[in-house]
C-alpha cells in the first residue's frame, strides 16, 4: 500500500514543480556539494579538521534546507532522519566520485576499472 506523497512547501526562489528553476534547485541540492566540498578542502588544506567541520556544517545546512523541509513534516523525527541520510550519502558519494574524476582527468597511472 503506498503512502500518499507529501507535497512540499516551495523554497524561496524555487519555481513550481517541473520548471527550469525547480530542476536547477534540485540539481543544486544533490550535486552542488560535489563541487563545493572539494573546494572547501582545497582552501583549508593546511587545517584538515577545519575542512571536515566546515564541510559537514555545509552538508547539514544543505540537508536541512532541502530534503528535511521538502519531504518531511517539520520538527518530526522523519525530518532529522532525512537530513542525516542526506549527509551520510553525500559523505559516501563525494570522495568516491571525486577520485574517479581526478583519476580520469589527470590520466594518472595505475587505475583499474573492471
**CB-based contact 113:90 (threshold 8 Å):** no
- Comparing CB distances to other proteins, the nearer of 53 and 101 is 101
Residues in Cβ contact with 59 at an 8 Å cutoff, skipping those fewer than 6 apart:
33, 37, 86, 87, 90, 91
Q: Minimum distance between the CB of residue 38 and other proteins, rounded to whole angstroms?
A: 14
- Comparing CB distances to other proteins, the nearer of 27 and 50 is 27
Residues in Cβ contact with 67 at an 8 Å cutoff, skipping those fewer than 6 apart:
29, 82, 83, 85, 86
Q: Minimum distance between the CB of residue 82 and other proteins, rounded to whole angstroms?
A: 6
The CA distance from 41 to 54, in Å, is 9
Cell 587505475 belongs to: 111
Interface contacts to other proteins, rule CB under 8 A: 1-3, 5-8, 17-18, 22-23, 26-27, 29-31, 67, 70-71, 78, 81-82, 85-86, 89-90, 92-93, 96-97, 99-101, 103-114
Quote the cell numbers at residue 39: 573546494
Q: Minimum distance between the CB of residue 109 and other proteins, rounded to whole angstroms?
A: 5
- Comparing CB distances to other proteins, the nearer of 32 and 50 is 32
- Comparing CB distances to other proteins, the nearer of 34 and 50 is 34
Amino acid at each position: 500500500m503506498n503512502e500518499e506523497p507529501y507535497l512540499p512547501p516551495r523554497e524561496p526562489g524555487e519555481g513550481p514543480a517541473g520548471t527550469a528553476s525547480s530542476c536547477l534547485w534540485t540539481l543544486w541540492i544533490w550535486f552542488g556539494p560535489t563541487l563545493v566540498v572539494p573546494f572547501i578542502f582545497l582552501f583549508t588544506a593546511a587545517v584538515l579538521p577545519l575542512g571536515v567541520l566546515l564541510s559537514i556544517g555545509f552538508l547539514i545546512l544543505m540537508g536541512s534546507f532541502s530534503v528535511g523541509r521538502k519531504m518531511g513534516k517539520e520538527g518530526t523525527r522523519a525530518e532529522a532522519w532525512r537530513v542525516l541520510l542526506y549527509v551520510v550519502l553525500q559523505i559516501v558519494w563525494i570522495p568516491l566520485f571525486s577520485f574517479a574524476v581526478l583519476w580520469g582527468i589527470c590520466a594518472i597511472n595505475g587505475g583499474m576499472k573492471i
